[in-house]
């Protein structure tokens, strides 16, 4: 599947702006990358595309490499000390590792490192030196990550963080390179309250102004004046990251051991079973189709698609189940790729359902009632304690699931709960070893202890939604309300102030231009830039899968007039979020 959205834009920028820009017919080159640039590269470019542009080998700058002094090297690296030192080392001896260097930094190179390159022997062989402004990972077509899982600790640790200013500056630069790559010059807004939101918004504003000076075409085009960047903190919605989600992608990442988007399972052939590893990403069209669907619909949909596929290939199927699939594979080896894909997703859905049925169906009901403050009939909860005690006393429920329930109970109470009550809940649930997760949420500004340090802080009001949904998926992330309000220009300017006044918008003209330009990109290649406005959202401290899903849902609801792009320092699962919270009162390990 051709990459679309963010991935396509970044892939095109790297292939055209870096590799093709130094390509010469008949000359091969070596491509040297570091950890961050390799992650960016592998998220949006296929190795075959890179090799087709005259690159003979891709190497890691931090590993020992054989010198190839007859070839020129393209260095695609982040401007950090480790990578720059390794670059200088390649040319420090009389015999250079490569014939010449084309250096492309992912973002702005600090003056100190730039001066070091100038003083070194690299300066004699450098043929290109550019900053390409891609200091983020395009995780999905509408989701980005800054690849920094330690971010929650950096922002909200109980320990004073001397490096916080530097970290804010780096973060702001990374967000600015995202806007630059998307050719957006958005109005910047932030959630009022937490000082880090205002500080980060201000830093991003300064950097965007500098980028605009270097690249005046940023933000030009019909409707672009309406684009906005919103900065929000994780404490704004502590509920979405801890709920058990029943949509496919979120559920799989929550319940199964998926590492770096790789799902491993045992595929059963005739008489033998072997481990299969599958990457769940946008190259898999079936995954893109299924990932935001409710689990109850996923198995039905896969089976239906499989049936259609088999009928189109004149293969007869009675029941599309796993046994049939392995039989079909034997009969039709030429369709191995397609059949394996169906098999993977049936496996994935089955494994999710198995885990869910074993222990979660009752739990999900309690969670949804607490989060919504009402049962499925819409009647307010009379005695939430009655709902949670059986869960807390049940020895079969895992500690983290109990913590998720206790937190939802506290948020339901709005004003926090008394310390004695909390101590009782912790004792009932027998989670003393992990109880600091609950109190550490106070570092994010959440009201946990009644009358405590966050007294008076409340979670936002939620929109009334009438559309029908599954009873165990009634919760809608707060950020979805914010996305819809921002697009309809209904977002409260007192609660979401602008850093500088947005450009005045002539609404009559806008409507005409969106009708004229709204669909122009449909027949063009996915990498051509859209003309409509974008809403870009950055969440400090991690973004959850349900919030990612909201970006696609809101984009779809505008019929493509708007595109919502959401991102964060990293992608959260409920377990990783609770682990991050657990570490907030620990002293960091200097070696990490």
Mean pLDDT of each 10-residue bin along the chain, 592 residues long? 78 93 92 94 90 94 93 95 95 90 93 93 93 93 93 87 85 94 94 94 94 88 88 96 96 93 77 77 92 93 85 65 63 77 90 90 92 89 91 92 95 91 93 94 93 87 81 92 95 92 47 35 45 92 97 93 95 96 78 42
Asked if 218 contacts 211 with a C-beta cutoff of 8 angstroms, the reply is: yes
Asked if 93 contacts 67 with a C-beta cutoff of 8 angstroms, the reply is: no
Cα-flanking dihedrals φ and ψ of residue 265, to 5°?
-150, 165
**Residue showing tokens 């007859």:** 70
Structure tokens at 481: 């309300």
Asked if 362 contacts 471 with a C-beta cutoff of 8 angstroms, the reply is: no
Pairing, β 29-33 against β 55-60 = parallel
Cα-flanking dihedrals φ and ψ of residue 98, to 5°?
-130, 165
Cα dihedral 434, 439, 440, 444, rounded to 10, equals: 140
Asked if 86 contacts 59 with a C-beta cutoff of 8 angstroms, the reply is: no
How far apart are the C-alpha atoms of 303 and 321, rounded to whole Å?
8
**Residue showing tokens 């982040």:** 78
How far apart are the C-alpha atoms of 74 and 128, rounded to whole Å?
9
Helix 419-429 to helix 384-393 angle, to the nearest 10 degrees?
A: 40
How far apart are the C-alpha atoms of 135 and 567, rounded to whole Å?
13
Q: What is the DSSP string of 40-95?
A: HHHHH--HHHHHTTTEEEEEETTS----BTTSEEEEEE-S-HHHHHHHHHTTSSSS
Give the Å distances, CA to CA, from 399 to 269, 392, 404, 428, 573.
Answer: 37, 9, 9, 11, 16
Nearest to 582 by CA among 380, 336, 351, 399: 399
How far apart are the C-alpha atoms of 228 and 13, rounded to whole Å?
23
Length of the chain: 592
What pTM, to 2 d.p., does this model score?
0.90
**Residue showing tokens 């506290």:** 410
């Amino acid at each position: 599947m051709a990459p679309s959205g963010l991935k396509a834009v970044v892939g095109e920028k790297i292939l055209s702006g870096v590799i093709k820009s130094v390509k010469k017919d008949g000359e091969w080159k070596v491509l040297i990358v570091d950890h961050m640039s390799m992650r960016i590269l592998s998220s949006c470019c296929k190795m075959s595309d890179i090799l087709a542009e005259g690159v003979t080998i891709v190497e890691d700058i931090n590993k020992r490499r054989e010198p190839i002094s007859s070839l020129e090297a393209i260095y695609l690296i982040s401007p950090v000390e480790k990578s720059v030192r390794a670059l200088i080392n390649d040319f420090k001896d009389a015999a250079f590792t490569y014939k010449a260097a084309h250096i492309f930094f992912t973002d702005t190179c600090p003056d100190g490192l730039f001066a070091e390159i100038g003083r070194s022997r690299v300066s004699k062989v450098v043929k290109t030196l550019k900053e390409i402004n891609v200091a983020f990972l395009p995780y999905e077509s509408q989701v980005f990550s800054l690849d920094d899982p330690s971010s929650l600790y950096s922002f909200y640790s109980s320990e004073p963080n001397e490096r916080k200013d530097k970290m804010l500056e780096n973060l702001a630069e990374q967000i600015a390179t995202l806007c630059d790559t998307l050719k957006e010059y958005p109005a910047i807004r932030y959630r009022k309250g937490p000082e880090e939101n205002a500080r980060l918004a201000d830093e991003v504003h300064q950097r965007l102004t500098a980028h605009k000076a270097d690249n005046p075409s940023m933000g030009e085009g019909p409707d672009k004046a309406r684009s906005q960047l919103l900065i929000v903190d994780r404490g704004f919605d502590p509920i979405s990251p801890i709920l058990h989600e029943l949509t496919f992608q979120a559920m799989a990442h929550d319940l199964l051991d998926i590492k770096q988007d790789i799902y491993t399972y045992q595929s059963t052939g005739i008489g033998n079973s072997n481990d299969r590893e599958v990457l769940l990403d946008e190259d898999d069209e079936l995954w893109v189709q299924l990932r935001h669907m409710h689990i109850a619909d996923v198995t039905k949909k896969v089976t239906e698609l499989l049936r259609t596929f088999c009928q189109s290939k004149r293969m007869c199927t009675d029941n599309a189940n796993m046994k049939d699939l392995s039989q079909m594979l034997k009969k039709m080896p030429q369709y191995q790729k397609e059949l394996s894909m169906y098999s993977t997703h049936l496996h994935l859905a089955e494994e999710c359902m198995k885990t869910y049925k074993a222990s979660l169906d009752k739990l999900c009901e309690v969670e949804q009632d607490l989060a919504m403050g009402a049962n499925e009939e819409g009647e307010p909860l009379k005695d939430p304690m009655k709902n949670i005690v059986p869960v807390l006393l049940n020895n079969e429920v895992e500690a983290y699931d109990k913590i998720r329930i206790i937190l939802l109970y506290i948020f339901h109470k709005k004003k926090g709960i008394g310390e004695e009550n909390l101590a009782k809940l912790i004792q009932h649930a027998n989670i003393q070893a992990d109880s600091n997760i609950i109190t550490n949420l106070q570092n994010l500004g959440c009201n946990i202890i009644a009358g405590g340090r966050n007294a008076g802080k409340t979670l936002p009001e939620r929109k009334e939604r009438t559309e029908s949904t599954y009873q165990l998926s009634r919760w809608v992330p707060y950020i979805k309300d914010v996305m819809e309000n921002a697009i309809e220009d209904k977002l409260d300017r007192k609660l979401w102030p602008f850093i500088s006044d947005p450009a005045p918008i002539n609404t009559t003209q806008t409507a005409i231009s969106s009708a004229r330009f709204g669909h122009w990109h449909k027949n063009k290649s996915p990498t051509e830039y859209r003309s409509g406005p974008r809403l870009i959202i950055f969440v400090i401290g991690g973004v959850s899968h349900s919030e990612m899903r909201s970006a696609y849902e809101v984009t779809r609801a505008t019929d493509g007039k708007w595109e919502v792009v959401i991102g964060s320092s990293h992608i959260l699962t409920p377990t990783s979020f609770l682990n991050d919270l657990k570490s907030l009162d620990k002293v960091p390990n200097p070696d990490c």
